[in-house]
């Protein structure tokens, strides 16, 4: 067992948890910079911290940073909780994460190119053919299509957790339309405004480059031969849960936010409707799922998409970011093969390892899962947002039985993983500063090369003991500081 470091001041009543805590329980003495953050935080008194937290809430309310929760239709304008105590990463920790994410994105793009072209990885038997070609997200319209620069996943979010030893593990990849980056930028602004005395003099890596970097990447992958490409962000509109983020990113990039009805396809080219008539569009950052993009090719009932868009895309007249059909790469079953995929294409060992994963489509995986279900997290492979999963140790007997039946009925729909003792971070709670579980989603932007936003979204499970950090289920966010040295 590690020895807990001496706590004081704000942390006097902090119950040092039996988990890895970046600030208070690292298993070694913290680097000097981290020590400084901790000492400064310790000098705050609880009432002062609460006063500032209240000011944050008022600010966010006024700004209308909102998040629609699917199961709670009434709460259209719910404020996303923000914790005023930052989550801090050292330069060395970040270097490791950054290299790991870049490696993973490289492998994912090579994998997608391969499965939509020669399918070497399937022919060599590294990944089961059915898993890829029979995947609901595998898109026939992408077969044989060359995308600019071979980039399929321009924006990628990698969900990381830290285990009891502080080791970073990949929980899942988000290679379709990962969201949450706006909170990273907003949280930072809010943090510097409300806790300037905490940040002063520390060398914290900035995050405000995200907009220009993303814009540059999207311009880099525009169809060849276009000078000064027009980039737009395609949103489902004001009633979408992530509309705030779409607005935020469009503003940060200085590009128009368009809806499907603002775009039209004529002669295989995409135009937007302006007061001066139709104007060409070359690169589309789409925040619309594949199914809704083009009613002529996918869901014919979609009112959100643009008829003819896929045809224009296939003709190479417009770039979509991310490409269509990238969902195969972030499928929870394909995830299990990611270490092998990295080795196959890059001939390197994965820098970031996966959480140990049992594939229930395979006989051994299913048997292991059924035999150990009370110790495992069982996840449906198609869902996102923490819906429909079972956390064995927290489940009732009836829930365990129900999941056993579900597993037997449709094993290919599930994977299972051991419960990870997620790391914690001190968090302002009703009863004082307490330990709460956190994860980390770094965002990688890929144009000609891959850039990773320093830090990323730290989500925190605000309910005591909870492991579910999703914003749709009571999660909040923290500012993530990456120290430059």
Partner 1 sequence: MTQASVFPAPVVPGLRNLLSRYAESTMWLARYMERIENLARLIEVTSTSVSATNMDAGWDSVIRINADEGLFFQHHETATERSVVAFYIIDANNPDSIVSMARYARENARVLRPLISTEMWMHLNVFTRWVMELGPNDVGAGYLSSLCTRLKQDCQTHFGITEGTLYRDQAWLFYILGKNLERADQITRLIDIKYHTLLPSEVGIGSDIDMSQWTSVLRSAAAYHAFRRVLPEGMTPANIVGFLLKNDGFPRSLSTSLRSVYSVLGSLAGEYRLRHCAPIIERVEELRVTLAEQTVEDIIMRGLHEYMDWIQRELRQIQNEIAHAFWPPVLSIHSTGTGRMEQVQN
DSSP 273-289: EETTEEEE--EEEE-S-
Q: What does the alpha-carbon distance between residue 440 and residue 422 come to, in Å, rounded to a whole number?
A: 11
Residue placing its CB nearer to partner 1 in the complex, 163 or 291: 291
For residue 386, with 0-12 CB atoms within 10 Å meaning exposed, 13-18 middle and 19 or more buried, which class applies? middle
Q: Which of 173, 179, 192, 156 is nearest to 67 (CA)?
A: 179
Smallest gap, in angstroms, from Cβ of residue 225 to partner 1? Answer: 4
Q: What is the DSSP letter of 409?
A: H
Query: For residues 306 and 428, which CB has a smaller minimum distance to partner 1 in the complex?
Result: 306
> Min. distance of Cβ 260 from partner 1 in angstroms?
6
Closest to 107 measured CA to CA, from 387, 420, 339: 339
Nearer to partner 1 among residue 51 and residue 251 (C-beta): 251
* Helix (H) or strand (E) segment spanning residue 183: helix 181-194
Residue 315 or 410 having the CB closest to partner 1: 315
Residues that bind partner 1 (CB under 8 A): 62-64, 223, 225-227, 238, 243, 246-247, 250-251, 256-262, 264, 266-267, 269, 271-280, 295, 303, 307, 317
Please choose, from the candidates 472, 465, 371, the residue with its C-alpha nearest in 3D space to the C-alpha of residue 424: 465
* Nearer Cβ to partner 1 (304/342): 304
Q: Is the Cβ of residue 23 or residue 284 nearer to partner 1 in the bound state?
A: 284
Give the integer Cα–Cα distance in Å for 450 and 132.
Answer: 25
Structure tokens at 159: 């969900």
Question: Would you say 124 or 227 has its CB closer to partner 1?
Answer: 227
**Residue 443 DSSP SS3:** strand
**Using CB atoms within 10 A of its CB, is residue 200 exposed (0-12), middle (13-18) or buried (19+)?**
exposed
C-alpha Rg value of the chain to the nearest Å: 23
Which CB, 80 or 126, lies closer to partner 1? Answer: 80
CB 185, min distance to partner 1, A:
13
Place of tokens 């001041």: 9
User: Nearer Cβ to partner 1, position 144 or 225?
Assistant: 225
Please state, in angstroms and rounded to a whole number, the distance separating the CA atoms of residues 306 and 310.
9
Which residue in 337, 271, 339 sits closest to 309, CA to CA?
A: 271
Q: Which is nearer to partner 1, 173 or 187 (CB)?
A: 187
Question: How many angstroms from the chain centroid is the CA of residue 483?
Answer: 21
Residue 411: other Cβ atoms inside 10 A: 19
Q: Do residues 411 and 71 make contact, with C-beta atoms less than 8 angstroms apart?
A: no
Distance between CA atoms of residues 112 and 86, nearest Å: 36
Sign of CA dihedral 81, 385, 438, 244: negative
Transcribe 58-120 into DSSP letters: HHHHHHT-B---TT-TT-TTPBPPEEEEEEEE-HHHHHHHHHHHHHHHHHHHHHHHHHTTT-H
- DSSP-assigned letters across all residues of 343-354: HHHH-S--SSEE
**Comparison of 32 and 300: residue with beta carbon closer to partner 1:** 300
How far is it, in rounded angstroms, from Cα 297 to Cα 215? 28
Q: Minimal distance in Å, beta carbon 457 to partner 1?
A: 21
CB of 394 to partner 1, least distance (A): 38
CB of 328 to partner 1, least distance (A): 29
Our CB check for partner 1 shows the closer of 148 and 223 to be 223
Bridge partners of 170, per DSSP, are 160, 354
């Amino acid at each position: 067992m590690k020895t807990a470091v001496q706590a004081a001041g704000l942390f006097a009543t902090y119950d040092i948890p039996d988990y890895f805590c970046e600030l208070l329980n690292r298993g070694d003495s913290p680097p000097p910079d981290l020590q400084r953050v901790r000492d400064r935080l310790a000098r705050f008194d609880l009432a002062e911290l609460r006063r500032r937290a209240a000011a944050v809430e008022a600010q966010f309310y006024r700004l209308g940073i909102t998040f629609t929760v699917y199961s709670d239709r009434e709460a259209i304008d719910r404020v996303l909780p923000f914790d005023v105590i930052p989550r801090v990463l050292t330069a060395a920790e970040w270097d490791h994460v950054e290299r790991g994410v870049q490696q993973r994105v490289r492998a994912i793009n090579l994998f997608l190119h391969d499965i939509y072209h020669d399918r070497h990885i399937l022919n060599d038997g590294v990944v089961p053919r059915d898993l890829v070609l029979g995947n609901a997200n595998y898109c026939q319209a992408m077969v044989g299509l060359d995308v600019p620069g071979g980039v399929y996943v321009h924006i990628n979010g990698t969900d990381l957790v830290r285990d009891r030893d502080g080791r970073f593990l990949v929980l899942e990849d988000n290679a379709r339309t990962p969201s949450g980056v706006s909170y990273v930028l907003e949280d930072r602004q809010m943090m510097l405004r409300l806790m300037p005395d905490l940040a002063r003099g520390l060398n914290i890596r900035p995050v405000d480059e995200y907009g220009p970097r993303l814009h540059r990447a999207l311009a880099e992958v525009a169809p060849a031969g276009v000078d000064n490409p027009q980039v737009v962000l395609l949103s489902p509109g004001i009633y979408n849960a992530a509309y705030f983020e779409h607005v935020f990113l469009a503003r940060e990039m200085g590009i128009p936010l368009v809806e499907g009805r603002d775009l039209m396809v004529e002669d295989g080219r995409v135009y937007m409707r302006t007061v001066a008539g139709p104007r060409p569009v070359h690169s589309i950052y789409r925040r619309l799922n594949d199914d809704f993009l083009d009613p002529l090719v996918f869901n014919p009932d979609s009112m959100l998409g643009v008829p003819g868009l896929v045809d224009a895309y296939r003709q190479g007249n417009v770039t979509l970011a991310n490409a269509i059909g990238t969902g195969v790469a972030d499928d929870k079953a394909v995830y299990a093969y990611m270490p092998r995929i990295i080795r196959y294409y890059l001939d390197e060992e994965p820098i970031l390892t996966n959480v140990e994963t049992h594939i229930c489509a395979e006989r051994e995986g299913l048997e292991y899962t059924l035999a150990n279900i009370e110790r495992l997290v069982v996840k449906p492979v198609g869902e996102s947002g923490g819906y429909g999963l079972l956390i064995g140790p927290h489940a009732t007997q009836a829930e365990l039985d129900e999941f056993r039946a579900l597993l037997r009925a449709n094993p290919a729909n599930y994977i299972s993983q051991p419960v990870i003792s997620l790391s914690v971070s001190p968090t302002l709670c009703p009863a004082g500063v307490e330990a709460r579980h956190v994860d980390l989603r770094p965002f990688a932007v890929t144009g000609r090369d891959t850039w990773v936003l320093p830090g990323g979204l730290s989500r925190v499970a605000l309910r005591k003991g909870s492991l579910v950090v999703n914003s749709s289920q009571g999660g909040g966010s923290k500012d993530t500081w990456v120290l430059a040295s």
